Amino acid sequence: MKGLESIKERILSQAAEQVTEIEQSASRQAQELLAAADKDAEDFMAASAVSDNREKEALILRERSYAMSEARKIVLSAKQELIDKVIDEAVDILCNIEYEKKKELYFDILKKNIKGKERVRFSEADTDIGKSLCEGSELDFSVDDIPGDFKGGLVIYAEQIEINMTFEMLVRQNRSKLVKIAANELFKNVQ
């Protein structure tokens, strides 16, 4: 699937720029937090007249440890935000792939899941693709009159069974795997 590979490369190149920005921002914030922690420790020692060097060192270590913990939280939050953004962007790109590629994707999904006489709901944007597949293929299904309230993908109804193959559901079901893949790709050069 050359199309998916090019989508992946485009998303990763855009995200690489954001990774660099996150690293620089986190580094600046960490330095600011460390400087503030050092100043707080010095102010506290001056105000309380801590005289024992071990107490001073322990206090400074605690303040620096707290500052580093806060810096790690900031970096982690920024990374999580970027990963969510990349996954959302991938879904948006998938929803907007060209008509013929999306038609082929939906045909492959239907071919694996249609046994005969199912009703299939497409998103409003993809209803035309559904009708085209229904009329122009050997698959035995009907297109639901009511479009789905989802970005892309489809839902197959067969008697009492519903097979939700919407992009949103597929992402939700595979979120932990997608997060791991995105993190490995985005942050493979980050310590």
Domain residue ranges in the chain: 2-96+175-186, 99-159
Percent of the chain with pLDDT over 90: 42
Assign 149 to helix, strand or coil.
coil
Task: Answer yes or no: are the C-beta atoms of 7 and 89 closer than 8 Å.
Answer: no
User: For the chain, how many helices (H) and strands (E)?
Assistant: 6, 4
What's the predicted TM-score (pTM) here? 0.68
SS3 of the chain: helix, strand, coil, percent, to 5 = 70, 10, 15
Bridge partners for 170 per DSSP: none
Residue 64 is predicted with a pLDDT of: 78
**Which tens digit of pLDDT belongs to each residue from 130-177?**
999 999 889 999 999 999 999 999 999 998 899 999 999 999 999 999
Residue 185 is predicted with a pLDDT of: 83
Instruction: Report, as an integer, the average pLDDT of 90-103.
Output: 91
Percent of the chain with pLDDT over 70: 82
**Which tens digit of pLDDT belongs to each residue from 58-85?**
777 887 788 788 888 888 888 888 899 8
The pLDDT confidence band at residue 191, using thresholds 50, 70 and 90, is low
Is the predicted pLDDT of residue 48 greater than 70, yes or no? no
